[in-house]
Structure 1
C-alpha cells in the first residue's frame, strides 16, 4: 500500500499542474452531468411488513383518492373575529385544482370561528413531489387569501416533508475550520490548502449524489448529512497529509520527496481511516429502511470523493506551494538536504509532557477517563425516540405555525389523526357505526369522524383524533390499544402517526443488528491492517464508549427544555428515531479515524524500536497536536450543522460534535495511551495460527524501506 501511495503522491507532485487540470476537468464533467442528468431528493417511508404499511396498501388498492399525500391549510383571523365564508370557499376551489389533488375538504371551523382547517388529499404519495413544488403550489393558491389580511399556514405530510437548507451550517463550519487551520499550521497557505482540497472532494461527491438520486431514492436530508461528514473528514485527511509533508520539509526533503513520503505514510492512515468509515456505512443497509440506505449511499460517495481528493490533490498542491507551507522564520533558513527543527535546549513540547505524564500514571488516567465517559453516557438510559414533527420546528416556520393554530383551535390530536382502513370484505358494512362508537368511547380519543365508504363498497376509512399530540407517549399508547383489540380483524390503523410508530419500533429493534455488524467488520479490518487483535478489540471498545457518551449528551440536551431552547427549539423533544442508528454508523467510522492516526504512528515506532512503552509516548507526542487540531475542526463543522433548521440534522450535529470532542480528548489523549501502556507488549500479540492466515500489508513506510532502527525525536507541527 505504501509503495503504491508513495508513487501516486510522487507522480502528483512531479506534475502538479497536470493533476490540478485533471481535477478541474473531472469536476466540470461531474457537475455538468449532475445538472443535466441528476435527480431530485425523494423520501421513501415504506416499511414492508408493518401494520401501517398493510393499511396503506389497502387504501392504495381500493381507496386511491385517500391513499396519497395530504396537507392541512390553516386559515386564521389575527384579530380573533369569525372568518368570512367567501374567502374560504374561494380558497377551497383553488386548492381542489392543484396538481395531483384528489379533493379539498369543506372548511372545518373552530368553536369561535376564527380558525378554519381545509384538508387537501392528493392522488400521489409525498415522495412524488420533487423539491418544493407541492409547497409552492399551496402558497400560490393561498396568496389571494393572505392578500385579504388573513393568516395562512401549511401543515400536514406534504409541507412537513419539505426542508430547505440555507447554507448557514456549511458557512459556519468552513469559517471556523479556516481559523483553526491558521492557528494549527501557522500560515494562510498551509491552512487554505486542506480546506480547498476538502471542498473539491465535496463538490465531486455532491455531484455524484445528485446523479445517484436519478436512479434511486435519496432522502432530502441525506445530502446534508453527507456534506457534514464529508467536510469534516476531508479537512482532517488533508490536514494529516499536509502536517506530514511539513515534517518532511523540516528534515530537508524536497517538496516532491516530502509529498511522496507523506502520501506513503500519512496517506496509508487516510486509506485505513476512510475504509473504516465506508465499512461502517454498510451497516445502514441492515436498518431495513430505504431512507437509511440512501443516507449510506450519499455519505459513501462523498467520503470516497474526499479521500481521492486528499491522496491526489494534496501532494500536487503541496509541491506547488513549496517552502511556503513553512512558517516565515523557517522559510528563511530552509534548504533541500538540510534538516532543522526544535533545538534540544527548548525542552519537551506540551504534547510530549502530556504523553510522558500519561505513561507514568496509566491507571489513574484510565480510571478517570472511564468515570467521565460513563457519566456522559448515563442520560442515554432515559432516551426516548420518535420521528420529529412540526411541533419541534422553529416558531417562524409555516409548519410550526400551522401546528400551533391547529392545536389551539381543535386540540393537539388534530395534528396527528389516526386513519383506520377497514376491509369491508372482512368487516360487514353494518358494523361500521358500532365500530365508530367503540372507538369514540376509547380512552384518549377526542373525536371520530363517520366512516367514508369507497365507490366499490369494499373499503372504508374512519378517522380517529387523539386527545394528545403526535409526539406524546399517550398517543402511542392509544395506537397500541387500537391494535391490541379495539380494531377487529380486517381493520388496520395507518397514517403518518402509525407509520412513525412502526418506523420507531423497527429502528429500535434493528439497532441491535447494525451494531454487531459494524463492530465485527471494523474488528476484521483493523486486525488485518495492524496485525494486532488486542488493539482491534480495544479500539472497538473505545469507540463504543465514545458513541455511548454521544447518545447521553444528545439525550440530555434535547430531552430537557433548557438544552432544547438553547438550540432554538420550543421545548424538550424526543430524540429522532432516525438518529441512533445513523449516528452510530457514522461515529463509529469517524472515531476510528483518530484511532488509526494514533496507532499507525505508534506501530511505526514499535516496528523500529520494539519499545512498547516508549512507542506509545512517542506516537502520542508526534500525533497529539495533529489529532487535537483535526478534532477541533470537525467539532466546529458539526457545531455549525447544529444550527440547521432541520431537527434531525441539528441532533446529528450536536451528537457528533460531542462524540468527536470526547473521542479526541478523553479517549485518544488519555484512555488509549493509558491502556496501551498497561498492556505493554500484549498490544502487539498475534497468535501463530492467525499470523499464518493474515496477509502482510506494509503500510508504515514509503518505498518499502524501514527507517533507521533507532528512536526518532518526535517532530510536532
Structure 2
C-alpha cells in the first residue's frame, strides 16, 4: 500500500494540472447531476417492533385520518380580547383548502376566549409534505387572522419537522480553520491547500448524497453531519500530508520526491484513519432505525471521497506550489543554501520545541501525570451518571421560533400536557367495546392524567381511539413514566399507546438499548484494525479505553451544559433541556472514529521511531514531539468546525457541535498530550508485546512506509528545482526539533521488532 501511494503521489505531483483539472471536472459533473436528478432528504421515523409503532399501524389501518401528519394552528389576541368568531371561521375554511389536508378539527377555544387551537390532519406522513412549503401553505391560510391583527403560531409535526439550513455554521468553521492554518504555516498557499481539498471533497460527497436521496430515504440530518465531518477530516488529512511534505523539502528532497514520500508515509496513516472512521460510522446500522442507517452510510461516503481527494489532490497541489509552501523566509533559506542553521533561523530559534520539552517532562514522571489525567477525565464524565435522554421537541427550541411560541401558548392556555396528548389505539377484536367505559374511568384516576376524551369507534367497528391528555409536558420525565405505567399496570393486551410522547419514550428506550450493540461493534472492529496496523494488542486496547474515556467526558460536559443548564443561555436556549436521544449513539460512532485518527497519527510516528531505534522511552518522546504540533493544529481546526455548528438553530445540531468540539479538545490535550505518553512510558517495551501465535496469523501492514521494499527508489528528479537543506524539523513550518537523545533512556540501538 505504501509503495502504491508513493507512486500515486509521484504521478500527481508530476502532472498537477491534469489531477486538479480532473477533480474540478468531477465536482462540476457531480453538481450538475445533483441539480438535474438529485432528491431531497426524507426522514423515516418508523420504529419497527416498538409498542407505539404497533399503535400507529393500527391507526393507519382503521383511522387513516389520525395516523399521518398533524399540524396545529394557534390563534391568539395579544391584548387579551376575545377572538372574533368570523376570524376563526375564515381561518378554518382556508385551512381545509390546504393541499394534502384531510381534516380540520373544530376550533378549541381557551377558557378566557383569547386563544383558539385548530388541529389539522394530513393524508400522508410529515416527511412527504415538502418541508417549508407545508408551513408556507399554513401561513397563507391564516392571512385573515393577520389582517385582523390576530397572531397565528404554528406547531405540531409539520412545523417541528422543518430543518433550517443556512450554511452559517459551515462558514464560521471554515473561517476559523483558515485563520488557524495561516498561523500554523505562515503561508497563504499552504493554508489554502487543506481548505481546497476539504471543500472539493465535500462538494462531490454532498452531491453524491443528493443523488442517493433520489433513490432512497436519506435523513434530513445527514447532510449537516456529513458537512461537519467532511470539512473536519478533509482539512486534518491534508494538513498531515502537507506537514510531511514540508519535512521532506527541508530534508533536502525535491518537490516531487517530497510529495511522493509524504503520500507513501503519512498517506498510509490517512488511509487507515479514514477506514477507521468509515467502520465506526457503519456501527449506526445496528441501531435499526432508517434515520441512523442513512446518516451512517452517507457520511461514510463523504469521508471516502475526502480521503481519495486528499491522497491525490494534495500531492498535485504540493507539486504545483513548489517551495512556496515553506513561506518567504523558508524559501530564502533554501535559495541561499546556507545550511541547517539557516533553515532553523528562518523558521524559529534553534531551540527545543515546547512539545518536545513537554514530552520529556511527562516521560520523567509518568505515574503522577497519568493518575492526574485519569481523575480529570472521570471528573468531566461524572455528570453522565445523571444524564437523561429525550428527543428534542418544540419546547427545546429558542423562543424566537414560531414552533416554540405555539408550544408556550398551548401550555399556558390548555395545560402543558396538551402539547403531547396520548392516543390509545384499541383493537376491539381483542378488547370488548363494553369494557371501554370502565377503562376510561381507570385512566382518569391515574396520577398525572389531566383529561380523557370519550372513545371514538372506527367505521369498520374493529378499533377505537381514546385521547388522553397528560398533566405534564412531553419532555417531563413524568410523561414517559406515565406511558410506562399505563402500559404495565392499567391497559389490557390489545391496547397500544401512540402519539408523540409515546413514540419519543420508545425511541429513547430503543436507542439506549442499542447503544451497547454499537459500542461493542465499533470498539471490536477498531481493536482488530489497530492490532493489525501496529501489531500490538496492548496499544490497541489502551487506545480503545482512552477513546471511551474522552467520549464519556464529552457526554458529561454536554449533560452539564444542556441538562443542567450551565451555559444554555449562551447557546441561545431559554432553559435547560435533556440530552437528545439521538446524541449518544451518533457521538460515539463519529468521535470514536475521529479519535482514532489522532491515535493513528501519533502511534505511527512512535512505532516508526521505535522500529528504527529500539528505544521504547525515547520513541514516545520523539514521536510526540514530531506530531504534537500537527495534531494540535488539526485539533484546533476540528474544534473550530464543530464549534461553528453550535450556532445552528436546531438544538440537536447544537448538542452535536458542542459535544464533538469538547471531545476533540479533551482528546488532543488530556489524552494525546498526557495520558498516552504517560502510559506508554510506564509500559515501556510491553507496549509492543505480541504473542508469537498472533504474530504468525496477523497480516503485515506497513503503515509507516519505512520498509525497504515499500518505498521505491525515486526516479531522477528534475535538477531545476532548488535543493532543500537537511534539518531535524518534524513539525509544521517554523517548528524545529531539538536533539532529544539526552532526554531518553534505554538503548539507542535498533532492536528487531515483530
Kindly state the Cα deviation for residue 712 of structure 1 after the two structures are TM-superposed. 8.9
For residue 566 of structure 2, give the secondary structure of its aligned residue in structure 1. helix
Q: 2:352 aligns with which of 345, 348, 354?
A: 348
Q: Structure 2-normalised TM-score?
A: 0.93
Q: Structure 1-normalised TM-score?
A: 0.97
1:519-565 per-residue CA deviation (whole Å, 9 max, x = no partner) reads 00000001111111111111111101111101111111111233222
My pick for the range that moved more, 424-433 or 586-595, is 424-433
Q: For residue 554 of structure 2, what is the aligned residue in structure 1?
A: 550
Contact 1:252 1:335 in 2 (8 A): no
Q: For residue 661 of structure 2, what is the aligned residue in structure 1?
A: 657
Contact 2:74 2:153 in 1 (8 A): yes
Contact 1:558 1:572 in 2 (8 A): yes
**Pair 1:521–1:386, CA change in 2 (3 A):** same
Q: For residue 6 of structure 2, what is the aligned residue in structure 1?
A: 6
Contact 1:42 1:130 in 2 (8 A): no
Q: For residue 160 of structure 2, what is the aligned residue in structure 1?
A: 160
Residue 75 (structure 2) pairs with residue 75 (structure 1):
yes
Q: For residue 242 of structure 2, what is the aligned residue in structure 1?
A: 242
Kindly state the Cα deviation for residue 509 of structure 1 after the two structures are TM-superposed. 0.7
Contact 2:131 2:158 in 1 (8 A): no
For residue 204 of structure 2, give the secondary structure of its aligned residue in structure 1. helix
1:612-627 matches, within 5 Å, as: 612-627=616-631
Q: For residue 225 of structure 1, what is the aligned residue in structure 2?
A: 225
Q: For residue 266 of structure 1, what is the aligned residue in structure 2?
A: 266
Contact 1:41 1:130 in 2 (8 A): no
Kindly state the Cα deviation for residue 102 of structure 1 after the two structures are TM-superposed. 1.4
Kindly state the Cα deviation for residue 330 of structure 1 after the two structures are TM-superposed. 1.2
Q: For residue 720 of structure 2, what is the aligned residue in structure 1?
A: none
Q: For residue 372 of structure 1, what is the aligned residue in structure 2?
A: 376
Separation in structure 2 between the aligned mates of residue 148 and residue 29 of structure 1, nearest angstrom:
51
Q: For residue 285 of structure 1, what is the aligned residue in structure 2?
A: 285
For residue 334 of structure 1, give the secondary structure of its aligned residue in structure 2. helix
Contact 2:543 2:599 in 1 (8 A): yes
Separation in structure 2 between the aligned mates of residue 241 and residue 665 of structure 1, nearest angstrom:
22
**Pair 1:602–1:706, CA change in 2 (3 A):** farther
**Pair 1:29–1:345, CA change in 2 (3 A):** closer
Separation in structure 2 between the aligned mates of residue 93 and residue 28 of structure 1, nearest angstrom:
48
Kindly state the Cα deviation for residue 42 of structure 1 after the two structures are TM-superposed. 1.1
Q: For residue 423 of structure 1, what is the aligned residue in structure 2?
A: 427
Residue 217 (structure 2) pairs with residue 202 (structure 1):
no
Q: 2:464 aligns with which of 450, 460, 463?
A: 460
Kindly state the Cα deviation for residue 696 of structure 1 after the two structures are TM-superposed. 1.2
Q: For residue 597 of structure 1, what is the aligned residue in structure 2?
A: 601
Q: 1:716 aligns with which of 731, 743, 748?
A: 731
Contact 1:7 1:260 in 2 (8 A): yes
1:455-534 matches, within 5 Å, as: 455-534=459-538
1:65-94 per-residue CA deviation (whole Å, 9 max, x = no partner) reads 111010111111111110001111111111
Residue 299 (structure 2) pairs with residue 299 (structure 1):
yes
My pick for the range that moved more, 638-647 or 341-350, is 341-350
Kindly state the Cα deviation for residue 271 of structure 1 after the two structures are TM-superposed. 0.6
1:377-401 per-residue CA deviation (whole Å, 9 max, x = no partner) reads 1111010011110001011111001
Q: For residue 316 of structure 1, what is the aligned residue in structure 2?
A: 316
1:293-325 per-residue CA deviation (whole Å, 9 max, x = no partner) reads 111022101111111111111111111111111
Contact 1:3 1:704 in 2 (8 A): no
Separation in structure 1 between the aligned mates of residue 41 and residue 26 of structure 2, nearest angstrom:
23
Listed as ranges, the gaps of 5+ residues in structure 1 are: none
Contact 2:229 2:299 in 1 (8 A): yes
1:598-626 per-residue CA deviation (whole Å, 9 max, x = no partner) reads 00111111111111111111111110000
For residue 214 of structure 1, give the secondary structure of its aligned residue in structure 2. helix
What count of residue pairs does the alignment treat as equivalent? 714
**Pair 1:704–1:32, CA change in 2 (3 A):** farther
Separation in structure 1 between the aligned mates of residue 528 and residue 624 of structure 2, nearest angstrom:
24
Contact 1:392 1:647 in 2 (8 A): yes
For residue 456 of structure 1, give the secondary structure of its aligned residue in structure 2. coil
Structure 1 vs Structure 2 CA RMSD: 1.7
Contact 1:444 1:478 in 2 (8 A): yes
Kindly state the Cα deviation for residue 129 of structure 1 after the two structures are TM-superposed. 2.0
1:647-691 per-residue CA deviation (whole Å, 9 max, x = no partner) reads 111111111100000000010011101111111111111111111
Separation in structure 2 between the aligned mates of residue 517 and residue 244 of structure 1, nearest angstrom:
33
Q: For residue 395 of structure 1, what is the aligned residue in structure 2?
A: 399
Q: For residue 119 of structure 2, what is the aligned residue in structure 1?
A: 119
Separation in structure 1 between the aligned mates of residue 144 and residue 91 of structure 2, nearest angstrom:
8
Q: For residue 65 of structure 2, what is the aligned residue in structure 1?
A: 65
For residue 647 of structure 2, give the secondary structure of its aligned residue in structure 1. coil
Contact 2:250 2:727 in 1 (8 A): no
Separation in structure 1 between the aligned mates of residue 597 and residue 75 of structure 2, nearest angstrom:
52
1:30-80 per-residue CA deviation (whole Å, 9 max, x = no partner) reads 111111221111111111111101100101111111110101111111111
Separation in structure 1 between the aligned mates of residue 613 and residue 490 of structure 2, nearest angstrom:
73
Listed as ranges, the gaps of 5+ residues in structure 2 are: 712-725, 733-754
Separation in structure 1 between the aligned mates of residue 272 and residue 335 of structure 2, nearest angstrom:
33
Q: For residue 186 of structure 1, what is the aligned residue in structure 2?
A: 186
Separation in structure 2 between the aligned mates of residue 338 and residue 534 of structure 1, nearest angstrom:
45
Separation in structure 1 between the aligned mates of residue 389 and residue 55 of structure 2, nearest angstrom:
23
Q: For residue 26 of structure 1, what is the aligned residue in structure 2?
A: 26
Q: 2:437 aligns with which of 427, 433, 437?
A: 433
Kindly state the Cα deviation for residue 230 of structure 1 after the two structures are TM-superposed. 1.1
Contact 1:2 1:703 in 2 (8 A): no
